[in-house]
Amino acid sequence: MKVLLIEDDRSTADYVGAGLREEGHEIDHAPDGMTGFELACTRSYDALVVDRMLPRLDGLSLVRALRSAGRNAPVLFLTSVGGVDDRVEGLEAGADDYLLKPFAFSELMARLNALMRRAPGRREETTLEVGDLKVNLLSRSVSRAGTSIELQPREFRLLEYMMRNRGRVLTRTMLLERVWDFHFDPKTNVVETHVSRLRAKVDRPFASEMIRTVRGSGYLLDA
């Protein structure tokens, strides 16, 4: 996913930008509304994350101008203004969703993913496959080589996240935030315990291992 972040607060921009890049997405950053408008009109983006209060051109005016120019990429507003009238005003200006500051990166990512699923021409993913490992997201069922595998809800969430990021090293911090919604280190071995349980069900009964430990970095799933 290619995202344009239009945000004048440096710390927020760094936080969101680092998180999106860690998730494997491409990001451009504009520090003011006018620069953001120019980028959005000259480049193609899957989604825009726009601060409502911007120098040179405020977020509302920016989105109205983009819609008038025929630029229809989904827009997620970041704002510290959370009143009903303010949210309505933003949506009527052409934004697709709102996220109130301060926010958790996991919620921002979930809202962007939801916007992508609703975007024209995109079909919602219902199955994930890596090699002979299959996950049905609708029935919440898992199988490998035709053999059904029973997972607990947290194990399923962990496997789904690893399969969506096949071939990527996932750090302990990434797993804590995306699977457990922890934005701090709980100082427990919860990640290691669940990865071990997942391996016992997904790997050990079969001929080859798919979940690997990358020493000093994290975990990786691939065929």
Task: Label residue 203 exposed, middle or buried (CB < 10 Å: 0-12, 13-18, 19+).
Answer: middle
Q: Is 68 helix (H, G, I), strand (E, B) or coil?
A: helix
Q: What is the CATH number of the domain that holds 67?
A: 3.40.50.2300
Q: What is the CATH number of the domain that holds 187?
A: 1.10.10.10
Determine the structural domain holding residue 196 and report its residue range: 127-221
30 and 93 inside one domain? yes
Amino acid 125: pLDDT: 58
> Could you read off the pLDDT of 114-141 as tens digits, one per residue?
888 776 554 445 788 999 999 998 788 9
114 and 132 inside one domain? no
8 and 112 inside one domain? yes
134 and 114 inside one domain? no
158 and 100 inside one domain? no
56 and 73 inside one domain? yes
> Could you read off the pLDDT of 38-74 as tens digits, one per residue?
999 998 898 999 999 999 999 999 999 999 988 889 9
Q: What is the DSSP string of 175-222?
A: HHHHHH--SS--SS-HHHHHHHHHHHHHTTTSSS--EEEETTTEEEE-
Amino acid 58: pLDDT: 94
Amino acid 222: pLDDT: 93
Residue 35 has pLDDT above 60, yes or no: yes
pTM of the model: 0.56
